């Protein structure tokens, strides 16, 4: 039985052409700043995002945590959306690594209300924690990859400027947002002080993310990267995969978005399944299966028995993520199998 893996866009494997690029990469010692391939990647990304500098890191979580550390001091407070990756999936990293507390606000599909954020910024009083940073996520994973609209980011940027607070963007899937909205990634980047983007989500590289900001900030991040254990040596092997992905795997993200819309349409017709189609803007589908009378585990096990792999999401939902290693035919077959199970 053929397995159709829709658990995440991180399950992709390098294509033969990407592997060839990795094996033929020129390399050096990146801790000494001597790896030509990662240097080329960092320069290219800085230019693409219209920022001064960029720094390759092993993972998106490390990228976010490095930015939080570099923007804050122990005892500060950061404002985050309550369902964001930083607060849900980074195992309390901001408190553990940066010594900051998180103030969680509820967003609408991950989008924070600028007025509510303004009210949440702490007054400058000695017995209150200092609001040092606001973190947002685009696309928003727990809202099925919803896009953070530019106008909402602009409104939030005005709040941060007025309050003297930094703004960080977890842009792990920012290329998905860019392709879906038609806005270049630089339009998002110019509204934030720092951002991290991922090469292994959507773009098909096996490993790696990158942090982007001004030159002084990136030098600070470089030091913390070493402290966190992220300083690597002949990293050009990984950077070559990222460069290949930039050349070949961005425009094709629209194919994943079409797969997701198709899949959502098919599943929305199943009794007991509920899907917010307004959330399905990029490559994810989240379906509430509470109406089936079955638990998440039961539903996931049934699907696995038919060769369809998905993941749990919140209490009564399941998630499917489209990526370059599943074809439209695979997605059609997955939908067919699920519909047969729940007829």
Last residue of a domain, one of 203, 223, 248: 248
User: Residue 124 to residues 80, 112, 118, 131: CA-CA distances in angstroms?
Assistant: 19, 22, 13, 9
- pTM summary value: 0.96
Taking only the tens place, the pLDDT of each residue in 67-94 is: 999 999 999 999 999 999 999 999 999 9
Last residue of a domain, one of 248, 282, 310: 248
Taking only the tens place, the pLDDT of each residue in 101-113 is: 999 999 999 999 9
Whether residue 229 is predicted with pLDDT greater than 80 in this model: the reply is yes
Tell me which residue range forms the domain holding 312: 252-341
pLDDT at 19: 98
Judgement on whether residues 232 and 98 belong to the same structural domain of the protein? yes
Q: Kindly state the tokens that stand for 254.
A: 């629209």
pLDDT at 56: 98
Question: For residue 135, is it within any domain?
Answer: yes
Whether residue 42 is predicted with pLDDT greater than 90 in this model: the reply is yes
Judgement on whether residues 327 and 201 belong to the same structural domain of the protein? no
Judgement on whether residues 218 and 326 belong to the same structural domain of the protein? no
Judgement on whether residues 210 and 304 belong to the same structural domain of the protein? no
Judgement on whether residues 304 and 221 belong to the same structural domain of the protein? no
Q: Round to whole Å and give the CA distance between 99 and 132.
A: 12
Whether residue 211 is predicted with pLDDT greater than 80 in this model: the reply is yes
Judgement on whether residues 264 and 336 belong to the same structural domain of the protein? yes
**For the chain, what percent of residues have pLDDT higher than 70?**
100
User: Residue 267 to residues 152, 303, 332: CA-CA distances in angstroms?
Assistant: 30, 13, 11
Judgement on whether residues 210 and 290 belong to the same structural domain of the protein? no
Taking only the tens place, the pLDDT of each residue in 137-161 is: 999 999 999 999 999 999 999 999 9
pLDDT at 2: 87
Taking only the tens place, the pLDDT of each residue in 264-322 is: 999 999 999 999 988 899 999 999 999 999 999 999 999 999 999 999 998 899 999 99
Report the domain count for the chain. Answer: 2
Last residue of a domain, one of 248, 275, 301: 248
pLDDT at 320: 98
Cα dihedral: 196, 199, 200, 204 (round 10): 160
pLDDT at 343: 78
Judgement on whether residues 281 and 234 belong to the same structural domain of the protein? no
Q: Round to whole Å and give the CA distance between 189 and 216.
A: 17
pLDDT at 186: 98
Per DSSP, helices labelled H in 36-194 are 36-48, 60-71, 85-88, 93, 114-120, 150-163, 174-181, 185-189
Judgement on whether residues 208 and 291 belong to the same structural domain of the protein? no
> To the nearest whole number, what is the mean pLDDT of the chain?
97
Judgement on whether residues 179 and 268 belong to the same structural domain of the protein? no
Taking only the tens place, the pLDDT of each residue in 329-342 is: 999 999 999 999 99
Question: For residue 31, is it within any domain?
Answer: yes
Question: For residue 188, is it within any domain?
Answer: yes
Whether residue 325 is predicted with pLDDT greater than 90 in this model: the reply is yes
Question: For residue 93, is it within any domain?
Answer: yes
CATH number at residue 273: 3.90.1150.10
Judgement on whether residues 175 and 214 belong to the same structural domain of the protein? yes
Question: For residue 165, is it within any domain?
Answer: yes
User: Residue 297 to residues 5, 73, 142, 149, 264: CA-CA distances in angstroms?
Assistant: 16, 42, 19, 34, 20
Question: For residue 293, is it within any domain?
Answer: yes
Taking only the tens place, the pLDDT of each residue in 178-209 is: 999 999 999 999 999 999 999 999 999 999 99
Question: For residue 3, is it within any domain?
Answer: no
Judgement on whether residues 196 and 262 belong to the same structural domain of the protein? no
Question: For residue 209, is it within any domain?
Answer: yes
Whether residue 1 is predicted with pLDDT greater than 80 in this model: the reply is no
Whether residue 50 is predicted with pLDDT greater than 90 in this model: the reply is yes
Q: Round to whole Å and give the CA distance between 301 and 316.
A: 14
**For the chain, what percent of residues have pLDDT higher than 90?**
97
CATH number at residue 189: 3.40.640.10
């Amino acid at each position: 039985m053929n397995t159709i893996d829709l658990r995440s866009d991180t399950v992709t494997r390098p294509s033969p052409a990407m592997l060839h690029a990795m094996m033929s990469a020129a390399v050096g010692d990146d801790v000494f700043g001597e790896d030509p391939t990662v240097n080329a990647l960092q320069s290219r990304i800085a230019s693409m995002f219209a920022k001064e500098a960029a720094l390759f890191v092993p993972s998106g979580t490390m990228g976010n945590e490095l930015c939080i550390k570099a923007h804050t001091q122990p005892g500060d407070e950061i404002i985050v959306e309550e369902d964001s990756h930083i607060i849900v999936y980074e195992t309390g990293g901001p408190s553990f690594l940066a010594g900051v507390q998180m103030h969680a606000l509820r967003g609408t599909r991950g989008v924070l209300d600028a007025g509510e954020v303004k009210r949440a910024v702490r007054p400058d009083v000695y017995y209150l924690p200092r609001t040092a940073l606001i973190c947002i996520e685009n696309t928003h994973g727990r809202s099925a990859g919803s896009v953070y609209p530019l106008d909402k980011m602009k409104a939030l940027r005005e709040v941060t400027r007025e309050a003297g607070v930094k703004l960080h963007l977890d842009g792990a899937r920012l290329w998905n947002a860019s392709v879906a909205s038609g806005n270049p990634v630089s339009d998002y980047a110019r509204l934030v002080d720092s951002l991290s983007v991922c090469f292994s989500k959507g773009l098909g590289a096996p490993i790696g993310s990158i942090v982007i900001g001004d030159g002084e900030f990136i030098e600070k991040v470089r030091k913390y990267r070493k402290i966190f254990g992220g300083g690597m040596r002949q990293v050009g092997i990984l950077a070559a995969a990222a460069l290949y992905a930039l050349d070949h795997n961005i425009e094709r993200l629209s194919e994943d978005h079409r797969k997701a819309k198709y899949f959502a349409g098919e599943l929305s017709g199943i009794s007991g399944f509920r899907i917010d189609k307004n959330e399905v803007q990029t490559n994810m589908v989240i379906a509430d299966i509470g109406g089936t009378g079955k638990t998440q585990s039961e539903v996931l096990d049934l699907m696995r028995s038919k060769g369809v792999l998905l993941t749990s999401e919140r209490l009564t939902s399941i998630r499917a993520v489209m990526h370059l290693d599943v074809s439209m035919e695979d997605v059609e077959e997955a939908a067919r199998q699920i519909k047969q199970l729940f007829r």
